[in-house]
């Protein structure tokens, strides 16, 4: 039970400031507001590459040429079919289940059915990445009493997801918007879900188990669970009088010690570069919702500066993700699962990276309990 800390790190609550791994995948520079994937600034990638190009960059180490891209697309397309086990799990789960719980369960079932085991491989990463949109779309349709659709071989990851969900191929603008979103959220340093994936991978467990752990970590509102809460927040403010009642509503939350969803970040102490990109995209995709959201953003930032002076709290990636994903017709409870459909690229890249140079991740804890309790037998307690 007792562990000792050999080198206690100051202020390590939440492992803030602790370097837990080395990675060549992505770098988050919090004070500069800079995110790079393998050397490329996210602003240079966001609107220029597809999700498939981004995953190739993360998995293989360079942006693909045409032949490499065609090959990767073909491999992903070949995996766009759910196992009967995953389908029966989806059918067995209640229609009221949370989509993140459904995703966690179905990835686990699909991994077991696909016999994902042993050291993680690129083919396993392709399989899990290709199937997450299928799992989500299948559950969305099942809970609406709609028949399931087959993935279209002529569509890529982003377009297939929207097609399988909505029953019609997206417009070019919608496909572009989702592609940019998927590219921008694919990796982000040692975030909580990636760390969870690496911890599991470091025990030489399998890739599906590592991804399932990551899904569990992403679900929490302090990590990936925020965008649907941003949607709820905007709707609640609308219902409480819209712009006129906004300041009172937000002030009330802060007075009660609650956090405002879509603001703040462990690493960024300036504008999150992804939030900047998403803001512009949300304005184009949904001008009316954007107008309201940007007014609330401005009011929230003013109040956060007042209530949390000097903390440097800015708008985070989740805030305008909520507006953008809503404009694509995705239900609020599918915002975080859609985030997972992107971040799985980073998770699997990190799992492969961890496995390639592994040492079990096993930190220590600072024991705060008593040192010498006297044992009393059950009959005398
Ligand atoms: C993301 C988050 C969990 C980071 O947590 P963290 O690393 O502990 O945050 P910080 O150390 O920067 O917090 C500094 C202070 O600002 C406060 N703060 C941070 N984000 C805040 C927010 N959104 N609303 C109100 N206060 C906030 C903290 O409570 C803390 O206050 P204190 O100094 O009085 O204790 C936090 O900002 C948060 O809960 N945000 C809202 C949820 C969200 O949008 N999550 C998605 C993240 S991408």
pLDDT score of 189 more than 60: yes
**Catalytically annotated residues:** 265, 318
pLDDT of res. 11: 57
Tens digits of per-residue pLDDT, 68-89?
Answer: 999 999 999 999 999 999 999 9
Q: Mean pLDDT of all residues in the chain?
A: 94
Pocket test for ligand 1, best of 264, 273, 278, 335 (most atoms within 8 A of CB): 264
Integer angstrom CA distances of residue 287 from 144, 235, 272, 279, 366: 28, 16, 21, 11, 51
CB atoms within 10 A of CB 213: 21
Percent of the chain with pLDDT over 90: 88
CB atoms within 10 A of CB 259: 16
Phi and psi for 199 in degrees, rounded to 5? -60, -45
Query: Which residue puts its alpha carbon closest to atom 35 of ligand 1?
Result: 308
Query: Which residue puts its alpha carbon closest to atom 8 of ligand 1?
Result: 266
Quote the ligand 1 centre to 261 CA distance (angstroms): 9
Domains of the chain: 34-221+334-356 (1.10.580.10), 226-327 (1.10.230.10)
pLDDT of res. 12: 77
Shortest-distance atom of ligand 1 to CA 224: 46
Closest CA to 275 of 285, 288, 264: 264
Would the CB of 263 count as within 6 Å of ligand 1?
Answer: yes
Given a contact cutoff of 8 angstroms between Cβ atoms, the answer to whether 364 and 3 are in contact is yes
Q: Give the Cα separation of 250 and 233 in Å (integer).
A: 9
Shortest-distance atom of ligand 1 to CA 317: 48
pTM comes to: 0.92
When pLDDT is averaged across residues 177-189 and rounded to a whole number, the result is 97
Q: Average the pLDDT over each of 14-28, 43-57, 61-75 and give the range with the smallest value.
A: 14-28
Better-scored residue on pLDDT, 51 or 16: 51
Quote the ligand 1 centre to 307 CA distance (angstroms): 12
Would the CB of 265 count as within 6 Å of ligand 1?
Answer: yes
Phi and psi for 157 in degrees, rounded to 5? -60, -50
Would the CB of 264 count as within 6 Å of ligand 1?
Answer: yes
Shortest-distance atom of ligand 1 to CA 258: 25
pLDDT of res. 221: 86
Tens digits of per-residue pLDDT, 241-281?
Answer: 999 999 999 999 999 999 999 999 989 999 899 999 999 99
Shortest-distance atom of ligand 1 to CA 262: 44
When pLDDT is averaged across residues 307-335 and rounded to a whole number, the result is 94
Per-residue buried b or exposed e for 230-249, using 16+ beta carbons within 10 Å of the residue's own CB? bbebbeebeeeeeeeebeeb
Q: Average the pLDDT over each of 32-46, 69-83, 127-141, 216-230 and give the range with the smallest value.
A: 216-230
Tens digits of per-residue pLDDT, 84-138?
Answer: 999 999 999 999 999 999 999 999 999 999 888 999 999 999 999 999 999 999 9
pLDDT of res. 3: 41
pLDDT of res. 9: 56
pLDDT of res. 264: 94
When pLDDT is averaged across residues 297-306 and rounded to a whole number, the result is 97
pLDDT score of 5 more than 70: no
**pLDDT classification of 17: cutoffs 50, 70, 90:** confident
Quote the ligand 1 centre to 161 CA distance (angstroms): 32
Q: Give the Cα separation of 271 and 34 in Å (integer).
A: 9
Tens digits of per-residue pLDDT, 151-172?
Answer: 999 999 999 999 999 999 999 9
Would the CB of 226 count as within 6 Å of ligand 1?
Answer: yes
CB atoms within 10 A of CB 80: 19
pLDDT of res. 262: 93
Q: Which helix (H) or strand (E) holds 70?
A: helix 66-78
Measure the CA angle with vertex 12, ends 6 and 16; round to 5°: 135
């Amino acid at each position: 039970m007792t562990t000792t800390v050999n080198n206690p790190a100051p202020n390590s609550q939440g492992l803030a400031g602790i370097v837990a791994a080395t990675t060549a995948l992505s770098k988050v520079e919090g004070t500069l507001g800079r995110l790079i994937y393998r050397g490329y600034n996210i602003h240079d990638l966001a609107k220029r590459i597809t999700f498939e190009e981004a995953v190739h960059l993360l998995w293989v180490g360079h942006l693909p040429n045409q032949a490499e891209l065609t090959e990767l697309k073909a491999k992903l397309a070949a995996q766009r079919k759910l196992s009967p086990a995953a389908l029966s799990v989806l059918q067995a789960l209640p229609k009221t289940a949370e989509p993140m719980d459904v995703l966690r369960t179905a990835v686990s079932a699909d991994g077991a059915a696909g016999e994902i085991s042993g050291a993680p491989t690129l083919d396993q990463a392709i399989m899990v990445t290709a199937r997450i949109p299928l799992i989500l779309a299948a559950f969305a349709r099942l809970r609406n009493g709609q028949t399931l659709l087959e993935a279209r071989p002529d569509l890529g990851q982003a377009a297939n997801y929207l097609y399988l969900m909505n029953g019609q191929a997206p417009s070019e603008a919608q496909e572009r918007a989702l592609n940019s979103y998927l590219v921008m959220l694919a990796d982000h340093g040692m975030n909580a879900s990636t760390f969870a994936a690496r911890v599991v991978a470091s025990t030489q467990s399998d890739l599906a188990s590592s991804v399932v752990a990551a899904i569990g970590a992403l679900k929490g509102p302090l990590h990936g669970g925020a965008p649907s809460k941003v949607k709820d927040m905007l709707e609640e403010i609308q219902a409480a009088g819209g712009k006129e009642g906004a300041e009172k509503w937000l002030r009330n939350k802060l007075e009660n010690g609650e956090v405002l969803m879509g603001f703040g970040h462990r690493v960024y102490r300036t504008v999150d570069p992804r939030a900047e990109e998403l803001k512009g995209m949300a304005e184009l995709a949904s001008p009316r919702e954007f107008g309201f959201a940007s007014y609330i953003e401005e009011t929230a930032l003013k109040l956060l500066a007042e209530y949390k002076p000097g903390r440097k709290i800015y708008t985070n990636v989740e805030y305008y993700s909520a507006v953008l994903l809503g404009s694509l017709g995705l239900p609020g409870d599918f915002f975080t699962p859609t985030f997972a459909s992107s971040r799985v690229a980073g998770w699997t890249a990190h799992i492969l990276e961890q496995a390639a140079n592994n040492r079990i991740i096993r930190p220590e804890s600072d024991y705060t309990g008593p040192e010498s309790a006297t044992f009393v037998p059950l009959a005398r307690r």
